Structure 1
């Protein structure tokens, strides 16, 4: 997962300018747009590239609470009392727990970390000191609230309970386990267990929900003890019996089924930023670090012996869903497993490289051991561990990625070479995947592609999250890639929102992925899962709460492509849409990001020399418009100062949205903070503008970014950084769509923003099993596309099976409303040539049998 700032991820701004993906006309306004005319010609006699069955897959990362409380079916939150401030400042070892008492019983509850612990990797446990007070039925203990609103129960469903316990009572201690409502009302019969002996022993039983409604989303789990003495508890667990494929320690069924319904060709796991952030040291008790990178050996074996960790995204990860479960899930859904291991260069804004040769050697050996765990015979060390977990057969690992979005290209590649050499020496059949950093362009991207090409790397993982406009402009991105160079694994991509306009743009882009199936070998939308009540990122493919799950509009689009890929591309072409363009137009702006900076001597001059704006702030800041809550701006010492080093995107603007062909000059001085300057131009509103980002990304690089509806794309990038206390002379020259930037009187860079957003895209593939042509057409505009189709061959039966996704571009699928869902039908009376009108804002698949 790319660490993209909230200014990109969370923006939900207005529609794109122009006809492409514009909002539809309402019935009470002007009539709907007249159909635009297109021609689509298919060439079945020509050979296109073969499409690997693994082209489309899924990328799973534990972000948005996707594992614990999500795909991992465990219902008890903080089951081993290991939560703490290292995971999240709000956490304690008793997070999600509270004491409870019945019948006058009293006692104390506390979390202990001492030599009586369950396991060296499971250090905390719960100690109940029972006072022995109360009459018959007096019980003292704890209640767990589960995730979100509570433990979800389905009437009549069975739930498997287990706990590790020990007692100092010679006659044993009676435990009672029960499901309850928030007010204590019983939602199951009590389960009676008796703990014997002062050694850790597992006790288990089954609870059956007896709720008054079909689903109760707010239940609690109560575990209480009778009598006196000391009872110790750990690994308090509750699983629905009905997990995916019925597996113990299994997966939440509805989420797993939605993933399986995509028919993914591969499963990339476990991240993302989880992979290479944090310490790369191994778990070392008792001085263990709670912010380690994801290391696979921590995540296998008995669940009570797996070392917990702080999740990069701000919560706790139990590792109950670990590498064995990932491999098992990939097998269950028929997907190729594709694990990612750390290259010992941190990413996602951390940007550090290990200088410990022994640590690097250890991680390389761990990676070799991982391959043995996946593929080794039961007679091997790690193959035997796999067999002991219940899978003697090898998992058939063929691909493995080293690293994720490293922003130190040379440091990363030096270490990647060592991983690759060791893997290829011992396992020559494994494809070792490299990467190209966190963005679709820029100095890191260019340098890593250069190194990957020079070294003959087999496959390079690209990541990018961009605006719908970018995806519509970049359908031909892979047309020019070297057919003899490294293949592309598009491991993470998405258009930055969950509206149907985003899915349409992604669909248009996917036609280009298929057309270039000889270069793009693997592709996965990201992220996969998100808890609607607790998440760190959007967009996401599948949303869920404690009882329900639903696919976003992008899920429906991905599913349509993934279920109808075909075996080979059939060459085709279609007429394009006339480009709509004009000069870069808009006001100017100043901003900061987690930085205090002062701006002075702002001047905007038209190309003919006319002064449009001049401000030395001697008369205050009346010419500038600011938004409430965006930083602390004031005039100090004759300059316009933003003084809040915690504020992000403090944009203030001045001038006219109609300005074009002008020069913007400003003096800028960094006072303090993490970054540098943000000088905006072409500002139309708070979501649509350009800015020169000098000293961005924690002052590691600089770029020009274009914001469309609040989602950004990088137009150019350099490795410039900003010094504190130094005054810089900045100048932005706008001429038509050509922009040139000057730093201290010298040309810093420039670009021409003239890419056309093409809303009408197509690709045609052939399904060998059915003998069908699959004609895939995306029409991402307000006008219906009246299209003359020439198949190049007569269809059998004169019919086509149709699947259509259509909707308002602003539509969002929610738990209660799914406006974007596939509609299936039949198109009658077609011949070799026919005319069909593809609806506005639609994705249409035609399956046509041919001879």
Structure 2
């Protein structure tokens, strides 16, 4: 993609200069265009598209909930950030002591018999020793740069408190800057009375706009004041709901018009302990997500350690998820744990009583969503404010399990129990964490054998993978399980990534009889708390913006159509490229020793040999990490914390060669990474032996930094044992030998096809929707044949997203966005030149 910047920059410049969207070829000489033809069978009937095909996947990753979609402005409001969750936490994380007018006291977090309740155990204890007008208390830092306020808007404050002061304790609550010199609202004053917990409330009207305020709570007098659940909410939440959602983020999600909302995750669903709250031993932390922890009054909900390294309050819980799905007109699709952990933990819980408890919890969840207000769990829903059922017609059990046999044994028990009471609910299984490999194959084998209705596939790959696999689902069994592509993204947020994803969506739509649901992931990312990228919507504490992928996904999600219209295209084609490049050595959180590196051509000519007797001057670091040195005649990488320590040697033009190397694991978490076809730090192949915490081997291909798995199988590397590793490359074919035995092979003959199209019909509008992606630097001059006998209007609506393929939307500039115009000259056969690096939708009115 680096070579594309000049051409695409010219595209952006010409568009900015005001050229019409109807111009034959923006930013390029039309005579240089590649020629394509799209033939549409307008009278034909393709597969119907599920009206809920496109949806969103919400997981509390990247601070997507607390500090994100959940509108609460106070961080660690219940003082439950504890070292057991995160080594850097204390009960006062995000809080600091403050005083005024000579006030004094001490602040400490406590878990004792005076706690608010059994699920909200830690509270703030202020021991006050003020005299006169002195006041002492704490202030909260909020998220990102602070508490965000907008002038003229209302903010609701609440706190649970108790005091042992006979005359009560005066409490002053203010919004001010960190130094305390500027205030942003008139202070709220309450009097705390009595030594039992009560909730106190007040409202602020902001007198200024800032993203760096602090909520300050100070008490006067003497005695012991206890505080818990210190909360500040904007009154203006999405749909005006109390305990609601941040409006700008919720509105961006709603603008996608999602057909479903998958929640609450992801890895947070099936990691940690599967056991729940135990009243005898106290509140258990770091457990898998359990929906009953998340409903009822917010002060009685559990707080839990999040798999992604921070704490989640569960203020955004199952009731709020269902309410949000209803508010945006989407189906709710919850995910429940199956007692097989995933996301690298890979263990099955063998406890039949616990399994039955989780199955019953799932049945109770369905009752919570669908039961009448007179039922046990329907009554709990009604008490929270929703007497009528939410509705639920599909539910997923499990997420990305790497132990398919153990998972399926438990899945079947869940499914059979649910179907016995709710036969119309679709129970969704999964195929593991990747698009291929031993786990994927075994999972699909078990899904087919057990008559599973729908299988959730997940994969995150390079953009080229998406451009190479448009026909992935063409060969799937039309009578078998339906596919839900529940998590997918290419590995960046640039326009090129968005176009690759858009091209892939044309293949999903063409196979709408197989792929009935799809959702990009992850949905949200707080720019200051990122565990994973790419992401669809980015935000800080007062701004939000859609990525390039958001804009492309939105275009597809809001222009789906009801049915696929059969179509084909022809034109410029590409051929597979041979594997070429230098060789490399690397490690991942492992110390390893390499020796006797030999490269020979297919005819036996020696191209390179290094036994490190003369040092390692022929090797060049390209990753910039690790501690490489020659030790006892071998090349050793000794840093067991460093990830990807790649060094390379040889010629980037090498092809058709054999690579031999001896490798020994010295210590650490994994095994070896032997590179071939190495071009630079972002473009290479490597054979990963003992990867994924020494459980799996794989060959991964990196293209511009995004990796795709080409082959994978279980594999373990022993510490201290020397291995003979050989890689044989012939054209596009690669054979891998470990200690003289063939370990695996693959043929990297996939063609990156930058041109993709699909046509759908919008029955109500009487329109054909022609969708074309041109993910290349050359314009695509295209003849569009809509079919014999079709009658169309002369004008059509055109929507284009295009630009520099390296461009991405940021907090300060969102350059990637759609342009909509009207074009003329539409006929049963007409020509359109599609811009370089563009996705184009043409809505053609039929007569």
Query: TM-score scaled to structure 1, two decimals?
Result: 0.96
Partner residue in 2 for 1:59: 57
Superposition pairs for residues 91-490 of structure 1, below 5 Å?
91-133=89-131, 135=132, 137-184=133-180, 185-211=182-208, 215-285=209-279, 286-490=281-485
User: Are 1:602 and 2:611 matched, yes or no?
Assistant: no
Question: Which runs of structure 2 are paired with 1:686-697 in the superposition (5 Å)?
Answer: 686-697=681-692
* CA deviation profile, 1:132-180 (whole Å, cap 9, x unmatched): 31x3x32211111111101000001100011111111222211111111
- Farther off after superposition, 714-723 or 36-45: 714-723
Deviates more, 1:79-88 or 1:732-741: 79-88
Q: Which residue of 2 aligns with 1:43?
A: 41
1:24 has 2:8 as partner: yes
> In the TM superposition, what is the alpha-carbon distance from 1:26 to its structure 2 partner?
5.2
Deviation at 1:799, TM superposition (A): 0.8
Range 139-148 or range 519-528, more displaced? 139-148
What SS is found at the alignment partner of 1:797? strand
Q: Deviation of residue 442 (structure 1)? A: 0.3
Task: State the SS of the aligned residue for 1:273.
Answer: coil
Q: Counterparts of 1:329 and 1:583 in 2: how far apart (Å)?
A: 50
Quote the Cα distance in structure 1 between the aligned partners of 2:772 and 2:644.
38
Query: How far apart, CA to CA, are the structure 1 residues paired with 2:95 and 2:772?
Result: 53
Secondary structure of the residue aligned to 1:432 is strand
Q: Find out whether 1:816 has 2:825 as its counterpart.
A: no
The runs of 5 or more residues in structure 2 that have no matched partner are: 14-26
Shift of 1:670: 1.3
Report the equivalent of 1:837. 833
**Tell me, what secondary structure is at the counterpart of 2:552?**
helix
Q: CA deviation at 1:795?
A: 4.2
The 1-side partners of 2:147 and 2:680 are apart by 44
Distance 1:495 1:189 in 2: 48
Cα distance between partner residues in 2 of 1:775 and 1:173: 68
Instruction: Find the residue that maps to 2:64 and give its secondary structure.
Output: coil
Contact persistence 1:132–1:229 (CA under 8 A): no
Deviation at 1:378, TM superposition (A): 1.4
Quote the residue 1:553 is aligned against.
Answer: 548
For 2:544 and 2:42, the matched residues in 1 are separated by: 41
Task: Please report how far the alpha carbon of residue 577 of structure 1 lies from its aligned counterpart in structure 2 after TM superposition.
Answer: 2.8
2: CA distance, partners of 1:151 / 1:308: 22
Q: 2:268 is paired with a residue of what secondary structure? A: helix
Residue 456 of structure 1: SS of its match in structure 2? coil
What secondary structure is seen at the aligned counterpart in 2 of 1:453? helix
Q: CA deviation at 1:88?
A: 2.2
1:396-795 correspondence runs (5 A): 396-627=391-622, 629-792=624-787, 793-795=789-791
Equivalent residue, structure 1, for 2:16: none
| Secondary structure of the structure 1 residue equivalent to 2:364 | helix
Whether the 8 Å contact between 2:50 and 2:516 is mirrored in structure 1 is yes
CA-atom RMSD, angstroms? 1.6
Aligned-partner Cα distance in 2 for 1:251–1:23: 42
What displacement does 1:665 show?
Answer: 0.6
Deviation by residue 1:497-553 (Cα, 9 ceiling, x = unmatched)? 000000000000000000000000100000000011211111100000111111000
Deviations 1:460-510 (A, max 9, x none): 000000001000000000000000110000000001000000000000000
Structure 2 CA distance for aligned equivalents of residues 479 and 581 of structure 1 = 20
- Unaligned 5+ runs, structure 1: 1-13
Among 793, 797, 800, which residue is 1:801 paired with? 797
Answer yes or no: is the 8 Å Cα contact 2:793–2:844 preserved in 1. Answer: no
User: Paired residues, what number?
Assistant: 830
Per-residue CA deviation, residues 186-235 of structure 1 (Å, 9 max, x unaligned), is: 21111111111111001111111101xxx310011111111111111111
Whole-angstrom CA distance in 2 between matches of 1:436 and 1:216: 47
Indicate the larger mover: 82-91 or 392-401.
82-91
Q: 1:256 & 1:273 partners in 2: Cα distance?
A: 22
Taking structure 1 as reference, are residues 789 and 629 closer, same or farther at Cα in structure 2, changes over 3 Å only? closer
Distance 2:58 2:606 in 1: 54
> Aligned pair in 2 of structure 1 residues 571, 746: CA closer, same or farther (>3 Å)?
same
1:848 aligns with 2:844: yes
Q: Distance in 2 between matches of 1:405 and 1:572?
A: 35
